[in-house]
Amino acid sequence: MNSRRFHLITGAAAAAALAFGMHHAHAQADTLKIGVILPMTGQQASTGKQIDAAIKLWMAQNGNKAGGKTVEVIVKDDAGIPDTTRRLAQELVVNDKVVALAGFGITPSALATAPIATQSKTPMVVMAAATSAITAASPYVVRTSFTLPQAAVGLAEWATKNKIGKVVTLVADYGPGNDAEKYFAERMTLNGGKVLDKLRTPLRSPDFAPVLQKVRDAAPDALFVFLPSGQGAQFMKQFGERGLDKAGIRLIATGDVTDDDQLNDMGDVALGVVSSHHYSAAHDSPANKKFVAAFEAANKFRPNFMAVGGYDGMRVIYNALNASKGARGEALLNAMKGQLFESPRGPVLIDAQTRDIVQDIYIRKVEKKNGQLWNIEFDSIKQMKDPGKSK
């Protein structure tokens, strides 16, 4: 009697446990997790804020289903510290079993994560970091931002055509700065120009006063600048305070400096600055107007190029999940390659060979319209591949 009852109970418990276990496994298989690592705090926090807002906008517009399953985005803050990025990536892969890693505000964070993507065969979508070599660090890297060689070469061409012969370069002293300096200086020299000096400031807490004094003394036709998103306003203020604009030294820069996130705070010193980049919030297309209006309605701030990298990164992941019917690993990666779509920035292609982005690069000038500052595009180089890949 007792033993029979015991059997009945264990039998029911076992059935319940099995049902629960199956249900649990089923729920997991039906959820596709995307692990996003961003600098939400620290010196690159504006990049995290922009990309996080863009990801939320993508989800609000496109829902949380892709590849026939439910998509869940997990956002982690690495504060722009590469050791933290690596640890978070490891946890997202091992504990959360994410189908893709994404984000990566700065190059050192992307490079720290690349070996984890390779070992775990997890596609890694770089939405911000822009050193050319990142795509070579793992066959699982796909990029939706840009590269500094892409931005720098077009500006050197513009400078030569506009009678800028003598230049000084100023870059942040790490991966993307190396790329910007090298590709800008090489093209200027090739075009018969002269690079008088190559100056650098540290990635963390830069002080622009000493380098700006050197620029003044060198008296070039123009100063070329690359600084990561978030440093432009402080730089521009010091450029004005030291009177370099009034000394007749033109400022030319990659669009990271005339960043839409800060442009309106820069004041009149920014007016007339010519830059080159893949995205301006003023880009004149129906797709961009729709994007900017929806983004501003949701956030009360203007999207910058980081937001577009994040938005398109989500699109690449969703497209790939849909095309592969919710695959993981190499099948998901392969579905990311060769994607062609219209971004708010214009038409783009994810090059199947390099996994890097092919896009139009625009030459722009800061102008005031209706009381606000904008990067107004006036020329472009169509469908530019990363020049850094040809070496």
Tokens describing residue 107 = 């190059």
Q: In terms of DSSP H, where are the helices of the chain?
A: 2-30, 45-62, 82-94, 107-120, 148-161, 175-190, 209-218, 232-241, 286-299, 305-323, 329-336
What is the x/- site pattern for ligand VNL, positions 171-210, by CB under 6 A?
A: ----xx----------------------------------
| Number of chain residues interacting with ligand VNL (CB under 6 A) | 15
Site membership for ligand VNL, residue 262 (CB under 6 A)? no
Q: Among 66, 101, 112, 130, which residue interacts with ligand VNL (rule: CB under 6 A)?
A: 130
Give, as ranges, the residues between 223 and 252 that touch ligand VNL (CB under 6 A): 228-230
List 157, 181, 256, 312, residue binding ligand VNL (CB under 6 A): 256
User: Which helix (H) or strand (E) element contains residue 196?
Assistant: strand 194-201
Which position among 57, 127, 129, 167 is part of the footprint of ligand VNL (CB under 6 A)? 129
Tell which residue, 355, 383, 360, 357, has the closest CA to residue 136. 355
- What's the token pair of residue 307? 């937001």
Quickly list DSSP for 95-131: TS--SEEEE-SSHHHHHHHHHHHHHHT--EEESS---
Beta carbons within 8 Å of 59's beta carbon, 6+ residues apart:
71, 73, 314
Q: How far is the CB of 161 from ligand VNL (least distance, A)?
A: 25
Q: Which of 67, 105, 206, 346 binds ligand VNL (CB under 6 A)?
A: 105
Residue 313 sits in the site that holds ligand VNL (CB under 6 A): no
Q: Are strands 222-226 and 250-254 parallel, antiparallel or unpaired?
A: parallel
Stretch that binds ligand VNL, among 63-71, 122-130, 368-376, 382-390 (CB under 6 A): 122-130
Stretch of residues binding ligand VNL (CB under 6 A), selected from 24-32, 63-71, 124-132, 216-224: 124-132
**Chain positions contacting ligand VNL, by CB under 6 A:** 44, 47, 105-107, 128-131, 175-176, 228-230, 256
